[in-house]
Amino acid sequence: GLSIPLIIAVIIGMALVVFADSIAWTFFEEPGLAPILIVRSSFIPINIFIAVLTSVMEGFKEFKKNALAQFFLQSLTKLVLTVALAFTGLTALKAMVAHSISVLVVALVLIYLVHQLFPLTKSCNVARRNYREMFRFSLPIYGSNLIGLLGSQLQTILVGMLGSITGVGIFVVAARVNIMGEVVHQGINTTTMPFVSELYDRGDKQQLGHFYQLITKWILAFNLPNFLIILLFSKPVLSIFGEEFIAGSAVLIILACSRLVDAATGINSVMISMSGNTWLNTVNSLII
């Protein structure tokens, strides 16, 4: 579970470091992006390591410790470092360095927490190896996640190729503001996975149905205020980042509408995955 993703991540990270200059110039015509890309690419294996350890924590239902490490500790570390660097003249490269250090801190904390749950020094020779079952379940999830990730990044790349670097900045800020509702949705998705799996395994479809309806109402209830705020105050919200970002108000409203529709579907992707039909999520991601 650790070795395969890490090997792939190291290969991808090295490739991005080697071709950083070409990517910065070809896609964005901005050579200054190359150093930032090199720093970010160097930390891809650590990010993958965090993703795997996070999944282990979720499997043990240690959501509180996981959230404290990944959201509170990382955000606090990033904030402290960014403020400290701001006194020396904050640049995009320095901000990326602060982000990378916070990622490293979270990785070390997660290693300690997982080791407390399951000794990482334990011999793998006694492990049960269900490779076929593992890959049959996980490969469609990998495909779905990869398609979803590339799809969101493709928008940014296209704006950079067909528009301007200023347009990229406005689009990214609008997408980041809209991500507040997505964070709630993804957080609930993560915490419900073990419970949906347990109910499905017991064959308690009636309770599973009630659980799905209840969680969907919660997700929609959390996202509706966020949607209304963006709908009514999109320009004032974007003006916080600077007057030039107000041009992205229509973009922000469109993204907020799509987020509300997604919230209304509840935990459908969790229901599909935890019932073993992961390939359906891959098909859905392709269509999207």
Phi, psi (5° rounding) for residue 69? Answer: -75, -50
Successive 10-residue mean pLDDT values, the chain, 288 residues? 84 90 81 83 86 83 78 82 80 80 88 83 69 80 78 75 76 80 78 85 88 90 88 87 84 88 86 83 82
DSSP string, 23-45: HHHHHHS-TTHHHHHHHHHHTHH
pLDDT of residue 210: 92
Q: In the chain, which ranges are continuous DSSP H helix? A: 3-18, 20-28, 33-42, 44-59, 63-67, 74-86, 92-117, 131-162, 165-202, 205-239, 249-264, 268-274, 278-287
For residue 121, which amino acid is it? T
Query: 286: how many CB neighbours lie within 10 A of its CB?
Result: 12
pLDDT (tens digit per residue) in 80-89? 888 887 788 7
Sorted by sequence, the CB contacts under 8 Å of residue 43 that are 6+ apart come out as 13, 100, 103, 104
Query: 222: how many CB neighbours lie within 10 A of its CB?
Result: 17
Query: 181: how many CB neighbours lie within 10 A of its CB?
Result: 24
pLDDT (tens digit per residue) in 202-230? 888 899 899 999 999 988 888 888 889 88
Phi, psi (5° rounding) for residue 225? Answer: -60, -40
Q: Is the Cβ–Cβ distance between 242 and 173 less than 8 Å?
A: no
Which among 185, 184, 163 is positioned nearest to 251, based on CA atoms? 163
Q: Is the Cβ–Cβ distance between 57 and 114 less than 8 Å?
A: yes
Distance (Å, rounded) from C-alpha 182 to C-alpha 234?
17
At 164, which helix (H) or strand (E)? none
pLDDT (tens digit per residue) in 33-61? 888 888 888 888 888 888 888 888 877 87
Percentage of residues of the chain with pLDDT beyond 70: 97
Query: 56: how many CB neighbours lie within 10 A of its CB?
Result: 18
pLDDT of residue 80: 85
Mean pLDDT for all residues in the chain: 83
